[in-house]
Structure 1
Amino acid sequence: MKIATFNVNSINARLPRILEWFDAAKPDVAVLQEIKCIDEKFPALEFEDRGYNVEVHGQKTYNGVALLSKFPVEDVMRGLPGDKDDEQARYIEALVTPDDAGPVRVGGLYLPNGNPAPGPKYDYKLKWMKRLKKRAQKLLEQEEAFVLAGDYNVIPQAEDVHDPAAWADDALFLPQTRGAFREILYLGLTDAVRQAQPTAPCYTFWDYQRGAWTKDHGIRIDHLLMSPQAADRFKDAGVDRAERGKEKPSDHVPAWVELR
């Protein structure tokens, strides 16, 4: 069972590249971020023709997440619990049941960027991370296999950035941000990509500016965190780096995990 996360940076603007990746990578489940469209504008038919069940939590112009699964989907949740006034479309979750294995709950998330920090946007980021931690705690109490996958907008360690000093004051790399991420991880979750590749850079984002891609000035901010029950089924994980070098790509590339 292959679960992938991909910040597509506008689903409709980059649909040909995205469909090419789906056809080549063949994920069983994929969570997408920054689809940047309302539900009705999501190109569901193109994915349904490829055998996917499509669940969308969209938003006009900004944000927006989606979950696509080749297996039956139930218990769909749109929006992260904990703030009834939060109107930003940043979280979707569902229980996915493969034909030949136990069910896996998949949460797809687009964690706030938080810049400039300090400021209201950074406060929102930290509050959102606290809500995510509470959701992870709730899921752990259910003792089921789950994966929380998405664009976390968090650079966990110095090894995850080309130049730590250049990002020292950025909301993605501030000590408080990394500490909040570790609080979630230390609940008992496993970073899938680091499980497979403990030391390699594994960048997932290169800015469009300043020749970041050609200079390999990347950062790792797209993560898949596994519950103990999911980690027990871990097979492999990785990053599809080559997608960034294609014509009109997203500034992110897909990351994925395979479970037995």
Structure 2
Amino acid sequence: MKIATYNVNGVNGRLPVLLRWLEEQAPDIVCLQELKAPQEKFPEKAILDAGYNAIWHGQKSWNGVAILARGFEIQEVRRQLPGEEEDTHSRYLEAIINNMLIGCLYLPNGNPAPGPKFDYKLRWFNHFIEHAAELLAHDVPVILAGDYNVMPTDLDVYKPERWLDDALFRPETRAAYKTLVDQGWTDALRTLYPDEKIYTFWDYFRNAFTRNAGLRIDHFLLSPHLKDRLVSAGVDKDVRGWEKSSDHAPTWIEIADE
């Protein structure tokens, strides 16, 4: 089974890119972030015509998350992170698909840091860490996929010395990610490629994609049930070079059947 996460940076404006990628790669489950569309403007018909069921949590202009599934029923569990019930941002969606719990997240950016936006990022992150611990306690297969807005180590960022004060790379952010992983989660890409520079995001400015000046901020965390079922993982980097593409590239894993 192939599972992907993709920050589309506007699901309607980049719908041709999304549909082309879905047709070419045919992932079984997809987590989308940054829909930038209100609930009623999600392109449900186009997604259905592409062969995918979908659930989504939209928001006008900003944020928004969705989960797509090809050939599987999607049983929604929640569309708000516990502890963030009053948050007006659409950042979390959780569902059961094919006997796995899928959590799709778009963690706050947090810039400028320090400041209120960074405080919000850390608060949201702490609630996510608490919820992740509860999911592990349920003793079921879980995948937490999405745009974490975290570069965990120097290996995950081009020229890390330039990012020391950025909210995605500040010590507090990296410490929170480490706390999360240390609960017992497997960082899929880094587990398979422990020493390789792998990026999932390239800024639109300063010719970043051509120079491969990227960041790894889109992650898959797997519960212990899935660690030994991880077959492969990668980034569809070429998609980032398509016309009118997102500044992220689709990131994916393959999980063996039970």
For normalisation by structure 2, the TM-score amounts to 0.97
Contact 1:145 1:227 in 2 (8 A): yes
SS in 2 for 1:94: strand
- Give the Å deviation of 1:75: 3.8
Partner of 1:180 in structure 2? 176
AA aligned opposite 2:154: A
SS in 1 for 2:129: helix
Partner of 1:26 in structure 2? 26
Contact 1:104 1:230 in 2 (8 A): no
Contact 1:196 1:238 in 2 (8 A): no
AA aligned opposite 2:223: S
Partner of 2:133 in structure 1? 137
Identity of aligned residues (%): 51
SS in 2 for 1:235: strand
Partner of 1:52 in structure 2? 52
Contact 2:150 2:169 in 1 (8 A): yes
Partner of 2:193 in structure 1? 197
- Give the Å deviation of 1:83: 2.3
Contact 2:36 2:60 in 1 (8 A): yes
- Give the Å deviation of 1:79: 1.2
For 1:120 and 1:228, locate their aligned partners in 2 and report how far apart those are by CA, in whole Å: 35
Task: Please list every run of at least 4 consecutive aligned residues from structure 1 whose deviation after the TM superposition is greater than 2 angstroms.
Answer: none
Q: 1:9/1:168 Cα in 2 relative to 1: closer, same or farther (>3 Å)? A: same
Match of 2:149 among 145, 148, 153: 153
AA aligned opposite 1:222: D
SS in 1 for 2:86: coil
Match of 2:245 among 239, 246, 249: 249
Task: Give runs of aligned pairs for residues 1-260 of structure 1, distance below 5 A.
Answer: 1-70=1-70, 71-97=72-98, 103-260=99-256
- Give the Å deviation of 1:233: 1.5
For 2:77 and 2:246, locate their aligned partners in 1 and report how far apart those are by CA, in whole Å: 27
For 1:50 and 1:13, locate their aligned partners in 2 and report how far apart those are by CA, in whole Å: 17
State the Cα deviation string for residues 186-234 of structure 1 (Å, max 9, x = none).
0000011112211111100110111111111101000000000121211
For 1:197 and 1:83, locate their aligned partners in 2 and report how far apart those are by CA, in whole Å: 34
For 1:25 and 1:249, locate their aligned partners in 2 and report how far apart those are by CA, in whole Å: 16
**Structure 2 residue ranges without an equivalent (≥5):** none
AA aligned opposite 2:74: V
AA aligned opposite 1:171: A
Contact 2:55 2:76 in 1 (8 A): no
Contact 1:9 1:251 in 2 (8 A): yes
SS in 1 for 2:194: coil
AA aligned opposite 1:6: Y
AA aligned opposite 2:162: A
